[in-house]
Amino acid sequence: MLSFFKDYKIFAIVFGVISIIIVSIIYNTLNVYRPLPIYQPAMVSTELVDSTIQHQKKYHKIADFALINQNGKTVTQNNYKDKIYVADFFFTTCQTICPIMTNHMVDIQKEILNDDEVMLLSHSVTPEIDTVAQLKRYAIEKGVIDRKWNLVTGNKKDIYKLARKSYLAVKDNGDGGPFDMIHTENFMLIDKKRQIRGFYDGTNSEEIERLLNDIAILKEEYKN
């Protein structure tokens, strides 16, 4: 009887070790690096995409731009050359989702503060209200760090085109002027080739964690 239990104990130990090895192999196999998708207009809800590009299935990139930031300086695509960045659309007088989105951008700013590879870019959808002075006040109030985060304003037509034809991020109002837009809660992750690599709910803290994780995945892409 004692011999039986001794043999059983040995079997249980060996079986346990083998099980741990098998589980480890399966875990490592399932956690193989997977690159982030590259979003094209045809992959995004049509209400967020200009009708002229809704069919596009490849080669989509963020267009060149020239806008004015909170310090009155011109910001172009060259300021984001060889950078990963998070973009969104907002307005300073918004009392609904914008404060939450901005607070989450502040959280992201804290995480990337010492990472020279990553920046932020927020576009105003009410440039007639969001003057340079207004953006500066907002930036100071929210703790925006100039070297990491640009709040930009400019010609409404140009911002509309960027939102609908590049970032695929806002809805067409349809009730007002030709460039009226309704911004969404979306944050967009943009890679060093100016491609969209992710969309995230900027009002959801769990989505912000996912975004930060995807930034890490994207950085790995550039190491390979």
Residues belonging to the binding site are: 94, 98, 183
In the block, residue with structure tokens 């079997």: 11
CB 127 within 8 A of CB 160: no
CB 215 within 8 A of CB 189: yes
Kindly report the number of other CB atoms within 10 A of residue 33's CB atom.
8
Question: Which residues are part of a known binding site for Cu cation?
Answer: 94, 98, 183
